[in-house]
Chain A
Amino acid sequence: MRFVHTADWQLGMTRRVLGARPPKEAAGGLTGEAQARFAQARLDAVSALGRLADERDAAFVLVCGDVFESNLVGPDVVARACEALASFRTPVLLLPGNHDPADAACVMRRPDFVRRCPPHVTVLDTPGVHEVAPGVEVVAAPWRSKHPLTDLVGEQLAALDPAPPGTLRVLAGHGELDVLDPDDDEPARIRRDGVLAALADGRVHYVALGDRHSAWVDAVDDRIRHPGTPEVTDFDEVDPGHVLVVDLDEHAAHVTVETVGGWRFVRHDAGLDGDDDLDALDASLGALPDKERTAVRLALVGTLSLRQRSRLDDLLAAHGHAFAAVEVLEQHSDLATVPDDADLDDLDLHGFAADAATDLFAAAGREDAEARDALRLLHRLVGGPR
């Protein structure tokens, strides 16, 4: 039996790094060019995995939670998601996760979703065993609220008897295993022991999980898996952009990883202590492929002169136009601008202006950021056309 395991589509997500909507622009929808392209990319990834499922003749596509970024996404997001789903020929099972729990506001029960939802899509909003095909059962552990007080997966597993012979059971759950995130205070954490036990005694044959945006497989039993998000959502994700094609029998699962995502979120740490480092930064940014689908986050550490700092500003501005986003993460950066004598000579000042500049230089040497800014302004005013 073959099915496609995916999760964390996060439809409706926006990323601040990709820019704000211009001020005064009308509300509603994503604005900003990169933001819009990113939103489209998420939908494209869904369409791609749909095509993949069709091509591979999968029995169904199982989405383990967080189909939507929130229960309160706009009708446009819902409509586009439904359109994307409608392009599937393979049946689709949608499990409510922590972002879109099956509570009173559940997006997958909203009239606009229900009206547009294609018939081959099933929402697993009731916990328990669902027979999705002859001899194939999916045990759903949907989120009913944002803050469940129990291990939902464990609860479902505890209620199960071993699967009847000839029946394959797939558990669909959402959440971190306790080994991945040993947070004692979180009552909804999934107990790995229980899951392993259920797999061992044949109550289920595959545990399909969601919530973790990076792909992950359990070291002991490779039938416990996180597929990761099909399209990257953040800089700290490891190997996102994939879906799993699972060939399952009662004893083992054969899993193929397929890539559907096209964007990259790259974090780049650089030490800047001179023109050479600037050159290197320039080169490394220039070497990145697919810049229009890449967001770069820089953490810069070092000391630059006034002139070098101006060069850095110019350099970043120039690359900013090519990339979807280039941002300097202030909290991880420690970049000092210390003017040197060459800067002072460049100014070519005399009289009291020279005295003032000397004053500012001295203050700038004492980590006075305002004085450095003032010096840069002086640079500009003197260097500017008379």
Chain B
Amino acid sequence: MRLHRIRLRDFRGVHDREVALAERGVTVLQGDNEVGKTSTVAALDLLFDAADSSRRADIRAAQPAGVDAGPEVEAEVSTGPYRFVYRKRWLRRPRTELHVLEPAREQLTGADAHARVTAILDETMDRVLWRGLRVEQHTAVGQADLGGQDALTRALDRAASGTGGTARPDPTADDGLVERACEELRRYRTPSGRATGELRTAEVRLADAEVEHERCRAALEAVERDVAARDRLDADAAGVRSRRLAHAAQVAELEDRWAGLQSRLREVETERGRAVLARERAETARERREARDVLVAAVEADAAVLARAEEARDAHDAEHTAARDERDALRAADTAAREEAAAARRAADEAARDVSAARDRAELADLAERLRRVEEAESGLAAAERVLAAATVGPDDLDALEDLARDLLRAEAARDAAATRVELTAPAELTIEVDGEPVTLAPGETRSLPVAGSRAVVVPGVLDVRVRPGHDEAGRDDVVRACARALEERCAGLGVADLEAARAARRSADDAARRAAEHRAARDREVAGHGSTAALRQAHDAVRGRLDDDLGHGDDLFSVAEATTEPVGAADLAALRHASDTARAAADDAARRADEAGAACRAAEDAVRGAETRAAVLAERAADARHAHARRAEELRAARAAEPDADLAAAEEDRRARAREAEREHESLAAALADDDPETVEARVVNARAVDERLAAEAARLEREHAETTGRLQAAGLEGWHDELAAAATELEAAVRDHDAVARRAAAARRLHETLARHRDRVRRSYVAPFRAQVERLARIVFGSSLSLEIDEDLRITHRTLHGTTVAFSALSSGAQEQLGLCARLACAALVDPADGVPVVIDDALGHTDPERLARLGAVFTAATAGEGAAQVVVLTCTPERYHGIGAATVVPLAPSRRPDDRDRMHDRDHAEVGDHRDADRDDHRDDHRGDHPAAPAADDTPARAPGTVVDLPRAPRAG
């Protein structure tokens, strides 16, 4: 089939457009998105498939929005010997028109036209291949399902059987056969091999029948068993009846014997009772006699106890006395020891007092000495303080005086410096008087005298020189005088003659202060430990008082005084202290001895008290014993009075004799009975009764089981099990037959399918080689000469080997899959006989292919479509760069085809109208906004433009 032109009217977004296609080789339909590229292909499918009356969803979708017009498609097609123009309109005024141009002109409309086209296409075209060689938009370019394509199969058959070989007559018949065989198989088995449909039904029926048959057979067998059981039960019941009858006689005889034995047993029992009674009486008599014996023994025992108690009491009395004596002795010892201890204590105290007095005396002497020194210090201190009190010049006063004196000196110095100087030089030693004072001048010595005020230099006897200063010198002298006056006044104020006197006064005052401090320190040293002089004195008086107290009684004051005046020597004190220690040790010793004596005394007291208590206890015990003895003796006496011992003994003997007699009687009777073996008889009777009971129970059980079995049989009789089993057996046989037949058919279907499939696969394998050769030829253009492919019987590429590396198809990159898929389709198109060929339609593929490979793919397209009678390839794209590499491509740019009213609204942005590629050639400047469109032939009248610029151009004249 070849497409010559396609015209769309009111089809989706397309108002009216006709596209002409190159009859062979590649036609590229390029245009923006939504320009209607895919619609063109879809329209072709609708044209061939959908009757004009159809209102399918995809037809309704093809109607343009808001327009009251039906979508319309027209195509000019040649296929086989036919060439025809076919037009269809849907939804609004539906119409179908067919103009057959070749081989004979023919015109048809309506359903006839549709039927005619369908017939032509079926006759001349492999419609499955038509679908298979198409690459839809937005779907990965995968593998085309080429295995079942008749046209391809024919081509491959030709190739497989050698060039120009005898093509087999019409193998198309064979192809559907596999599918039909498969369908037949599917009637019985699912693809996974499970039974289904008829086979499943037959299997279920068979299983059900088997179950039902088994159920009926089991029920029937149960009845048979019951029948047998009933027979057995009847026999058993008869047996039991006869055994019971035989047993009854034996039971009666045993029962009689047993009754006789029982009455004798009762006699023996009575006799035994009697014997037991007599024995009991004998026992009573014995007990009474024994009680008397016990009583007598008790009286004797009591007497012994009494004697022992009294003996113990007497023995204790002696012990008691000894204890008292010892206590008295200890008491005396204790008293003596205590006195001794007191005396020792006194002696010790005396010695201690002596030591104390001696120590006090020493202390008193010390204190008196210190007191004396204190008094000395205090008197010194008083003297010094007196001096201090008399001192008039304080340190500040002295400082003031010093200042004044300095001022005077400075004034004098100033006066002298400014004053006229008299220099005196004597050629020989000469004594002169200067202002009344003798001054000796050494020979050659020059003495300079300032003249302040007046100066008188007298060389005695020789000369009086009076030097007076001038007036201005007198002023300076006044200052000196003022200073001297101030000094004098101050001195006078202080009561001293001059500065020297003041200094002396000051020095004496300081001296007195120092002495006072020394005395105070001495005093403080002495009173150290007492705080003050008064306290010291108080301490002294206290010691003195103490000594007075100690000695006052026996000694006179003299000794005190003596003691006071004569301090005790250290040696004496040590001796005294030693004596005191010795005395204290002796006292302690005596005290300890006194304590020991006291303890011994107390122990003795305790012993005496214990002895007394024990004596009381023993006395009590003796009294009790005596009392008990008396009472028991009284009891015995009374008892003997009532019944003498001899009577008791006689009664006991009598009773015992009677008891022996009764026992003898019983034994003889019992022995007589035992001879008749009553136990055996009893055991036999018991056993006979048990046997009878068991037989009765057995009979009852048999009767019950008989009744049950009979009941079951009666019920079973009404169930009609025979009929059920017969029906079930019949059904089972039928089910088996049915199942066998179906299973056989299923097996046959499988066998047929397997055989056919095996042979088909074998044939297909022979198709693989030529197909692979063609695909490899094309794919090597893309991948290079090292490429080889593996292709399975379904003509799918399974592996690609490149540079020795083999990769599964599914593991290849999207780009490589896409390129191989395209190669396979183009190879297919190239292989198929031109008469059988169909256009390969590629809707915007190769999105995954890089520019290098795109260029190579261009060569593939060219190679696949070279030559006379080559396939027709239609490429739809919005990215024409992808297909630049196709050398022999015919390019048809598509522009939006809008309705006139739409166009007005859109101004001149787009102005495509109905047009074929010839129009496009003229109007290619419409694509100028795409700038670098190399596929579009450059128009001479269009200025060259940079990419991306948009230029409004006058609208092209409307074509057609």
Contacts and interface: CB of A to CB of B under 8 A. Distances in A.
B720 A14 contact: no
Contacts of A14: 723, 726-727, 730
Interface in A21-76: 21, 23, 27-31, 35, 69-76
A104 to B, nearest CB: 4
B730 A350 contact: no
Interface stretch (B105-113, B222-230, B939-947): B222-230
Contact of B230 (A12, A103, A381): A103
B189 to A, nearest CB: 14
Interface string B206-230: 0010000000000010011011001
Which interface class (under 10, 10 to 19, 20 to 34, 35 or more) fits A? 35 or more
Given A373-B745, A373-B751, A377-B748, A107 B717 contact: yes
A104 B709 contact: yes
B538 interface: no
Nearest to A373: B748
A351 B171 contact: yes
B170 A350 contact: yes
A72 B178 CA distance: 55
A353 B762 contact: no
Of A104, A111, A112, A377, chain B has the most CB atoms within 10 Å of the CB of A104
A43 to B, nearest CB: 15
A21 B752 contact: no
B722 A72 contact: yes
Given A74-B723, A351-B763, A381-B181, A111 B714 contact: yes
Interface in B156-178: 168-171, 173-174, 176-178
A55 B859 CA distance: 111
Contact of A352 (B719, B724, B751, B762): B762
A377 B730 contact: no
Nearest to A358: B759
Nearest to A103: B227
Given A72-B719, A72-B721, A103-B230, A350 B173 contact: yes
Contacts of B168: 350-351
Interface string B741-778: 00011011101100110111011000000000000000
B184 A30 contact: no
Contacts of B227: 103-105, 145-146
Contact of A353 (B709, B730, B744, B759): B759
Contacts of A29: 723
B751 A21 contact: no
A14 B214 CA distance: 18
A356 B716 CA distance: 60
A317 interface: no
Nearest to B740: A330
Nearest to B752: A374
B718 interface: yes
A385 to B, nearest CB: 11
Nearest to A111: B714
A361 B173 CA distance: 19
Given A110-B718, A373-B745, A20 B231 contact: no
A353 B174 contact: yes
B730 A19 contact: yes
A378 interface: yes
Given A104-B710, A105-B226, A381-B184, A72 B716 contact: yes
Given A20-B733, A360-B751, A374-B755, A28 B723 contact: yes
Main secondary structure of the interface of B (DSSP, over half): helix
Interface string B174-197: 101110110010000000000000
Contacts of B744: 369-370, 373
A352 B174 contact: yes
Nearest to A144: B231
Interface in B697-733: 709-710, 713-714, 716-724, 726-727, 729-731, 733
A384 B174 CA distance: 14
Contacts of B748: 370, 373-374, 376-377
A351 B177 CA distance: 11
B884 interface: no
Interface in A65-112: 69-77, 103-105, 107, 110-112
A19 B735 CA distance: 11
A105 B716 contact: yes
A376 B745 CA distance: 10
A308 B730 CA distance: 30
A263 to B, nearest CB: 17
Of B227, B720, B744, B758, chain A has the most CB atoms within 10 Å of the CB of B720
Nearest to B751: A374
A356 B714 contact: no
Interface in A308-351: 349-351
B734 interface: yes
B205 interface: yes
Given A103-B230, A104-B226, A74 B720 contact: yes
Given A16-B733, A110-B714, A377 B745 contact: yes
Of B718, B733, B755, chain A has the most CB atoms within 10 Å of the CB of B755
B759 A359 contact: yes
B717 A105 contact: yes
Contacts of A145: 227, 231
Contact of A373 (B231, B724, B726, B747): B747
A95 to B, nearest CB: 19
Nearest to B761: A352
Of B208, B726, B735, chain A has the most CB atoms within 10 Å of the CB of B726
Nearest to B764: A352
Nearest to A359: B755
Contact of B734 (A19, A112, A356, A370): A19
B752 A378 contact: yes
B730 A20 contact: yes
A355 interface: yes
Contacts of B231: 103-104, 145
A382 interface: yes
A279 B284 CA distance: 131
B723 A356 contact: no
B531 to A, nearest CB: 141
A371 interface: yes
Nearest to B174: A353
A351 B160 CA distance: 13
A355 B171 CA distance: 12
A70 B724 CA distance: 12
A71 B717 CA distance: 7
A357 B538 CA distance: 162
A371 B749 CA distance: 10
B731 A112 contact: no
Contacts of A381: 177, 180-181, 184, 752
Contacts of B181: 377-378, 381
Contacts of A76: 720
Interface in B252-303: none
B228 to A, nearest CB: 8
A376 B720 CA distance: 45
Of B724, B745, B756, chain A has the most CB atoms within 10 Å of the CB of B756
Contacts of B758: 356
A72 B230 contact: no
A107 B223 CA distance: 13
Contacts of B726: 13-14, 69
Contact of A73 (B720, B749, B752, B763): B720
A21 B212 CA distance: 13
Nearest to B709: A104
Nearest to B724: A27
A370 B748 CA distance: 5
A377 B184 contact: yes
Nearest to B233: A104
Nearest 4 Cβ contacts at the A-B interface: A74-B720, A373-B748, A104-B230, A70-B722
11 contacts: A21-B731, A28-B720, A71-B722, A72-B720, A72-B722, A74-B720, A104-B709, A105-B227, A352-B171, A371-B751, A373-B747
Given A349-B173, A350-B169, 5 more contacts: A28-B720, A69-B722, A352-B759, A355-B759, A360-B751
